[in-house]
Amino acid sequence: MEEDGAESDALQQAAWEVYGVAPADFVATRTRWVKELRSRKQRDAAKSVAALRKPSVSAAAINALVRAQDPAADRLRDVGTRMRHAQSALDTAGLAALRGERDAVLHDWVEAARAHATGPLTAAVEAEVRDTAVAALADGAATEVVLSGTLTRGLSYSGFGEVDVSDAVARTSTGVVLTRIEGGGGDSATDEAGGEKDDLGEEDEADLGEDDPEDEADLDEEDEADFSAAGDEEDDPEDDEDDLDEEDDLSAEKGLAQLEETLAEAEEQVTAARRERRSLLEAASVAAARVEEAADGLAQARQLLARAEKEAKHAEAEDEQARAALELADEALTAARERRAQARTALEEAEDAD
């Protein structure tokens, strides 16, 4: 049990250091730790370290700001806790009041990631850093993953449900998140990891002596090779098996590094595709709103046209009636004029007769 505890501590220590270096140094640091753990005969821990995934650029920047204890990390946790509390209480007024703090936290978060990153961040990476913070604000489990310091990829939040954190953080084989060693190790665990490049400390030497009395406490790979060459009958089969395992593991590490590069490229493509899909959905939503608005306008225009046509028909009917009345009036006027002419003629004839 004591050996398992020492191996677990070594695994945490290794993971904390491996995810604390620049992405370009990740593979070399991981390989160094694998060899170091093999030299301690902590093969389960070595295999776990060999399986650690290389973080994306956005995840590495986030790990850097978390490890630097940037105030943006504490603010993210605080505002996220209050937002989730307001949401669970259906406190819409409280959520609205937190809008300004949320926007400020997201802005500061991206700025902090840019400041602590080991290299410049592209616009796409900064967008992924921001999306990860949005996911952390929405989901408590995502918050713990993001602030673990061993994040492997960015997160995203669809707007409802839980955030998918699978394969997003370094874990043990039992699923425990590998993060800073709490308690006596504290921050010093990172310092010890950084200081133990090739040599083991006194405690580690003592542990190795207890774990394997037949070996010296500080054997390195060259020492093991010397013992193997000397033909030690008791150690030869185990050393040969270890050498084969090491060759297989190194080959697997190279393959894993290539797969990680392929995976990183694929994740970037997925992120870009999601962003493009989001843009297309927004554009489609705007277009749909415009179509609906145009349809409403067309319906109103049709109503106005129908009303105008009805009024035009009514006007035409009135015009026809007016024309008919005018014709009747013209006929009456013509008849009146004829009667007047006849009366004048009769009057003139009467006057001539006199």
Strand partners, 169: 151
Q: What is the pTM of this model?
A: 0.54
CA-to-CA dists, residue 293 to 284, 287, 299, 304, angstroms: 14, 10, 10, 16
Give the torsion sign (CA, 246, 251, 256, 258): positive
Lowest mean pLDDT among 116-120, 157-161, 162-166, 202-206: 202-206
Rounded to whole angstroms, the maximal C-alpha distance in the chain is 176
Please say if the pLDDT value at position 247 is more than 70.
no
SS3 state at 69: coil
Please say if the pLDDT value at position 138 is more than 90.
yes
Query: What is the predicted pLDDT for the residue at 338?
Result: 86
Lowest mean pLDDT among 131-135, 210-214, 343-347: 210-214
List pLDDT tens digits, range 60-87: 999 999 999 999 999 999 999 999 999 9
Q: How far apart are CA 66 and CA 53, in angstroms?
A: 18
Query: What is the predicted pLDDT for the residue at 174?
Result: 66
Query: What is the predicted pLDDT for the residue at 93?
Result: 94
Domain ranges of the chain: 2-207
| Residue 350 pLDDT level (bands cut at 50, 70, 90) | confident
List pLDDT tens digits, range 263-321: 666 666 666 666 666 666 666 666 777 767 777 788 888 888 888 888 888 888 888 88
Please say if the pLDDT value at position 261 is more than 80.
no
SS3 state at 171: strand
